[in-house]
Amino acid sequence: TGAITLDPGYKNSGSCKSDITFLDGEEGILRYRGYAIEDLADKANFLEVSYLVIFGELPTKEQLTQFETDIRRYTLVNEEMKNIIDGFPKTAHPMGVLSSLTSALTAFNPKVVNVENEKEMYEAVCKTMGKFLVIATWTYRKMMGYPLNYYDNTIGYVENFMQLMFKLPTGPYEINPVVVDALDKLFILHADHEQNCSTSTVRIVGSSHAGLFASISAGVSALWGPLHGGANQAVLEMLEEIQKDGGDADKYLAKAKDKNDPFRLMGFGHRVYKNFDPRAKIIKRAADEVLATLGVNDPILNIAKKLEESALQDEYFKSRNLYPNVDFYSGIIYRALGIPTDMFTVLFAIGRLPGWIAQWKEMRVNKEPIGRPRQVYTGHPLRSFIPMDKR
């Protein structure tokens, strides 16, 4: 088999060829299917970008309407799924519930397990886009003890997200277009990010020919961790802790630099971006706009600004190219929109869904081999078995 090259964390190893996302970490460039993230965030909506990411081209008006209609057809979730939701304690973290529910979908949708042709692939894509959104919001309803809502065919995908989350049986729910616009942009910015931890997980699980729901459920688990998608929740918790502790941002900056202290500045640094994260730039602007439009004056924001300013001038952060990443600002917007902290990573998952689907589809279409890394063994050489009475 020859010598094995060790590359822990795959810092320098490519795992696949991909046509989906171009990322230049030195220059801070991000493109989906060749289109600049700045253009897409500014001019397209989330389903349009989802179509682009999954199928490779921007949809025509007809294609987009068809896609939306086909997704809508699959937004009904099997009633028996509710028994599964009932089994969780209210205190369960929504990401754990989401991962389990996504996996449970396989039981009710066997065709999404065995995709055999293009038609079945298209159905699997639409089913996943439809059902995942609904169950993602159900994790919140469960946490709050609210009755579950159903998809409303008269309004759009992102509008549905808000209504599914927040509409109460006691009255009508008014959807704020400023909030919908901001969420649309945030979902677009999260739609794909080439071979990150959760996407690589989706591809590697799928490479054994496990189905789309099973692969995505694994992706949700990978995303949950605080070094990946869970960072958006961790950022807000960090900011709240700083606030409770008197608001001294510099104290926490010093902690982050102290190698004997495990604390890291959440929302800072990135494996690939060694320059400003282009998504962070767009989100930062969006955060300012949203907060101004909604008239939110959040003291947490001042702490975030102070932290950011100090870190950007600090030698430790400068020399290591540690800039604020997408998660640093997204939590601030989510909070302003009234989304509870425990749901932040679920929103990341909704945004990342088209990317996971596209990467899984590409892996299957390209007939990639099963993912199976090697290792360098560092354990004992052969040992003689010791009988129980001699141990």
* Catalytic pick among 184, 192, 314, 327: 327
Q: Is 32 or 151 the residue whose CB approaches ligand CMC more closely?
A: 32
266 binds ligand CMC (CB under 6 A): yes
Query: Which residues, other chains included, contact 250 with Cβ-Cβ below 8 Å and sequence gap of 6+?
Result: 310
| Binding flag, residue 76, ligand CMC (CB under 6 A) | no
Candidates 270, 335, 361, 364; binder of ligand CMC (CB under 6 A) is: 270
Considering the rule CB under 6 A, would residue 322 count as an interface residue with ligand CMC? yes
- Residues 306 and 312: their CA atoms lie apart, in Å, by 10
138 or 224: whose CB is closer to ligand CMC?
Answer: 224
Q: How is residue 248 written in tokens?
A: 């001294």
In this complex, which beta carbon is closest to ligand CMC, that of residue 151 or of residue 334?
Answer: 334
> Measured at the alpha carbon of residue 157, what is the angle toward residues 198 and 228, in degrees to the nearest 5?
20
Amino acid at 370: I
Positive or negative, the Cα torsion across 98, 334, 236, 315? positive
Please identify which residue in 50, 195, 196, 215 interacts with ligand CMC, judged by CB under 6 A: 196
- The alpha carbon of 192 is separated from its chain's Cα centroid by a whole number of angstroms, namely 9
User: Which of 18, 325, 330, 359 contacts ligand CMC by CB under 6 A?
Assistant: 325
For residue 142, state whether it binds ligand CMC (rule: CB under 6 A).
Answer: no
Residue 22: beta bridge partners?
31
Query: Does residue 304 touch ligand CMC according to CB under 6 A?
Result: no
For 85-92, the CB contacts below 8 A with 24+ separation are 85/138, 85/142, 85/148, 88/142, 90/142, 90/143, 90/145, 91/143, 92/142, 92/143
Is residue 233 at the binding interface for ligand CMC, with CB under 6 A as the rule? no
H/E stretch holding 315 reads: helix 315-319
Check if the beta carbon of residue 363 is closer than 8 Å to that of residue 201. Answer: no
Minimum separation from the CB atom of position 26 to ligand CMC (A): 14
Return the number of the residue (166 or 268) whose C-beta is nearest ligand CMC.
Answer: 268
Is 327 one of the binding residues for ligand CMC (CB under 6 A)? yes
Comparing every residue's Cβ against ligand CMC, the nearest one is: 269
Q: How far is the CB of 348 from ligand CMC (least distance, A)?
A: 7
Q: How far apart are CA 349 and CA 310, in angstroms?
A: 30
- 351 makes contact with ligand CMC (CB under 6 A): no
Is 270 labeled as catalytic in the residue annotation?
Answer: yes
Residues in contact with 225: Cβ distance below 8 Å, sequence separation at least 6, in sequence order: 197
- Told to judge if 250 belongs to the known catalytic residues of this protein, a careful annotator would answer no
Cβ–Cβ < 8 Å for 353, 128: yes
331 is a contact residue toward ligand CMC (CB under 6 A): no
The only residue of 130, 211, 219, 269 in contact with ligand CMC, by rule CB under 6 A: 269
Q: Which of 190, 228, 270, 314 is catalytic?
A: 270
- Catalytic residue numbers read 270, 327
Q: Return residues touching ligand CMC (CB under 6 A).
A: 9, 196, 227-229, 231, 256, 264-271, 320, 322, 325-327
